[in-house]
Protein backbone atom coordinates (compact mmCIF):
# COMPACT_ATOMS: atom_id res chain seq x y z
CA UNK A 1 0.00 0.00 0.00
CA UNK A 2 1.40 3.38 -0.93
CA UNK A 3 1.80 6.14 1.67
CA UNK A 4 -0.81 8.17 -0.21
CA UNK A 5 -3.46 5.45 0.21
CA UNK A 6 -2.63 5.09 3.91
CA UNK A 7 -3.18 8.83 4.46
CA UNK A 8 -6.49 8.78 2.56
CA UNK A 9 -7.67 5.69 4.47
CA UNK A 10 -6.75 7.34 7.81
CA UNK A 11 -8.64 10.52 6.86
CA UNK A 12 -11.73 8.57 5.80
CA UNK A 13 -11.62 6.51 9.00
CA UNK A 14 -11.24 9.68 11.10
CA UNK A 15 -14.18 11.31 9.35
CA UNK A 16 -16.34 8.23 9.92
CA UNK A 17 -15.44 8.22 13.63
CA UNK A 18 -16.33 11.91 13.97
CA UNK A 19 -19.68 11.45 12.23
CA UNK A 20 -20.41 8.35 14.27
CA UNK A 21 -19.66 10.23 17.50
CA UNK A 22 -22.04 13.03 16.54
CA UNK A 23 -24.79 10.50 15.92
CA UNK A 24 -24.28 8.97 19.37
CA UNK A 25 -24.46 12.44 21.00
CA UNK A 26 -27.66 13.24 19.16
CA UNK A 27 -29.28 9.87 19.97
CA UNK A 28 -28.48 10.42 23.65
CA UNK A 29 -29.95 13.91 23.54
CA UNK A 30 -26.71 15.71 24.37
CA UNK A 31 -26.42 19.33 23.31
CA UNK A 32 -23.61 20.66 21.19
CA UNK A 33 -22.62 23.58 23.46
CA UNK A 34 -19.37 23.64 25.41
CA UNK A 35 -19.82 22.13 28.88
CA UNK A 36 -19.16 24.60 31.71
CA UNK A 37 -20.07 22.22 34.52
CA UNK A 38 -20.91 18.52 34.65
CA UNK A 39 -22.77 17.56 37.85
CA UNK A 40 -20.06 18.85 40.19
CA UNK A 41 -21.29 22.19 41.51
CA UNK A 42 -24.22 22.67 43.85
CA UNK A 43 -25.76 26.10 43.40
CA UNK A 44 -27.11 27.92 46.48
CA UNK A 45 -29.16 31.04 47.06
CA UNK A 46 -29.67 32.08 50.67
CA UNK A 47 -31.93 34.91 49.48
CA UNK A 48 -34.28 32.52 47.68
CA UNK A 49 -33.77 29.63 50.09
CA UNK A 50 -33.00 27.29 47.20
CA UNK A 51 -30.25 24.86 46.24
CA UNK A 52 -29.73 22.51 43.33
CA UNK A 53 -27.18 20.72 41.17
CA UNK A 54 -27.88 20.60 37.42
CA UNK A 55 -26.55 17.55 35.59
CA UNK A 56 -24.88 19.81 33.04
CA UNK A 57 -24.53 23.54 32.39
CA UNK A 58 -23.54 24.57 28.88
CA UNK A 59 -22.43 27.90 27.42
CA UNK A 60 -24.82 30.74 28.17
CA UNK A 61 -25.69 29.23 31.56
CA UNK A 62 -28.14 26.80 29.97
CA UNK A 63 -28.95 23.86 32.27
CA UNK A 64 -29.52 20.30 31.12
CA UNK A 65 -31.12 17.68 33.31
CA UNK A 66 -31.11 13.99 32.40
CA UNK A 67 -34.06 11.85 33.45
CA UNK A 68 -34.65 8.12 33.15
CA UNK A 69 -38.37 8.56 32.47
CA UNK A 70 -39.63 8.85 28.90
CA UNK A 71 -41.76 11.92 29.59
CA UNK A 72 -41.38 15.25 31.35
CA UNK A 73 -43.35 15.67 34.57
CA UNK A 74 -44.28 18.87 36.41
CA UNK A 75 -41.65 18.06 39.03
CA UNK A 76 -39.01 18.09 36.26
CA UNK A 77 -40.26 21.50 35.08
CA UNK A 78 -40.13 22.80 38.66
CA UNK A 79 -36.58 21.50 39.05
CA UNK A 80 -35.56 23.27 35.83
CA UNK A 81 -37.22 26.46 37.10
CA UNK A 82 -35.14 26.24 40.28
CA UNK A 83 -31.99 25.89 38.15
CA UNK A 84 -32.96 28.98 36.15
CA UNK A 85 -33.30 31.02 39.34
CA UNK A 86 -30.08 29.66 40.85
CA UNK A 87 -27.98 30.21 37.73
CA UNK A 88 -29.25 33.78 37.45
CA UNK A 89 -28.65 34.41 41.15
CA UNK A 90 -25.11 32.99 41.19
CA UNK A 91 -23.83 34.16 37.78
CA UNK A 92 -25.96 37.17 36.89
CA UNK A 93 -26.90 35.46 33.61
CA UNK A 94 -30.58 34.67 33.05
CA UNK A 95 -30.77 31.43 31.05
CA UNK A 96 -33.32 31.80 28.24
CA UNK A 97 -34.07 28.08 28.26
CA UNK A 98 -32.97 24.71 29.56
CA UNK A 99 -33.28 21.13 28.37
CA UNK A 100 -34.59 17.97 29.94
CA UNK A 101 -33.18 14.88 28.27
CA UNK A 102 -35.57 11.95 28.69
CA UNK A 103 -34.62 8.30 29.01
CA UNK A 104 -35.11 7.71 25.30
CA UNK A 105 -32.77 10.60 24.39
CA UNK A 106 -35.39 13.21 23.49
CA UNK A 107 -34.32 16.80 24.30
CA UNK A 108 -37.29 18.74 25.65
CA UNK A 109 -36.84 22.51 25.67
CA UNK A 110 -38.11 24.32 28.77
CA UNK A 111 -38.44 28.09 28.33
CA UNK A 112 -37.52 30.37 31.24
CA UNK A 113 -40.83 32.24 31.48
CA UNK A 114 -42.17 34.56 34.15
CA UNK A 115 -45.02 32.09 34.69
CA UNK A 116 -42.57 29.24 35.45
CA UNK A 117 -40.50 31.44 37.76
CA UNK A 118 -43.58 32.59 39.71
CA UNK A 119 -44.84 29.01 40.00
CA UNK A 120 -41.48 27.74 41.32
CA UNK A 121 -41.26 30.52 43.91
CA UNK A 122 -44.87 29.82 44.99
CA UNK A 123 -44.16 26.08 45.38
CA UNK A 124 -41.00 26.90 47.38
CA UNK A 125 -43.08 29.15 49.68
CA UNK A 126 -45.63 26.35 50.15
CA UNK A 127 -42.86 23.89 51.06
CA UNK A 128 -41.38 26.32 53.59
CA UNK A 129 -44.82 26.89 55.15
CA UNK A 130 -45.41 23.13 55.41
CA UNK A 131 -42.01 22.66 57.07
CA UNK A 132 -42.79 25.39 59.61
CA UNK A 133 -46.12 23.72 60.36
CA UNK A 134 -44.46 20.32 60.86
CA UNK A 135 -42.00 21.90 63.30
CA UNK A 136 -44.80 23.27 65.49
CA UNK A 137 -45.90 21.09 68.42
CA UNK A 138 -49.14 19.20 67.97
CA UNK A 139 -51.56 20.49 70.60
CA UNK A 140 -52.68 17.71 72.89
CA UNK A 141 -54.57 17.71 76.16
CA UNK A 142 -53.57 14.49 77.90
CA UNK A 143 -54.80 13.39 81.28
CA UNK A 144 -52.02 13.06 83.91
CA UNK A 145 -52.53 9.28 84.05
CA UNK A 146 -51.80 9.04 80.33
CA UNK A 147 -48.57 10.99 80.73
CA UNK A 148 -47.32 8.76 83.56
CA UNK A 149 -47.53 5.68 81.34
CA UNK A 150 -46.32 7.33 78.11
CA UNK A 151 -42.94 6.28 76.71
CA UNK A 152 -42.30 9.81 75.41
CA UNK A 153 -43.01 11.62 78.67
CA UNK A 154 -39.35 12.56 79.26
CA UNK A 155 -39.16 14.25 75.86
CA UNK A 156 -42.58 15.92 75.80
CA UNK A 157 -43.07 19.62 76.40
CA UNK A 158 -46.79 19.11 77.06
CA UNK A 159 -46.73 16.41 79.70
CA UNK A 160 -48.89 16.58 82.78
CA UNK A 161 -48.29 14.91 86.09
Domain boundaries in the chain?
25-129
Q: At what angle do helices 114-135 and 74-91 cross, to 10 degrees?
A: 100
Q: Is the dihedral of CA 19, 20, 22, 26 positive or negative?
A: positive
Q: What is the pLDDT of residue 29?
A: 47
CATH number, domain 25-129, options 3.90.550.10, 3.20.20.140, 3.40.50.360, 3.90.320.10 = 3.90.320.10
Angstrom distance (rounded) from CA 40 to CA 35 = 12
Give the tens place of pLDDT for each residue, 114-143: 999 999 999 999 988 988 888 777 777 777
Q: Which residues of 131-151 are buried (b: 16+ CB within 10 A; e: fewer)?
A: eeeeeeeeeeeeeeeebeeee
Q: Contact 72/101 with Cβ under 8 angstroms?
A: no
This prediction has a pTM of 0.68
Amino acid sequence: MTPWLIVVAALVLGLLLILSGRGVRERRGLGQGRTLDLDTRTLYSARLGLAGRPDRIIEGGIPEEWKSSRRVYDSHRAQMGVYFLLIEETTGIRPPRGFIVTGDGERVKIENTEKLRAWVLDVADQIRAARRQVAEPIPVNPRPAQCRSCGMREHCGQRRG
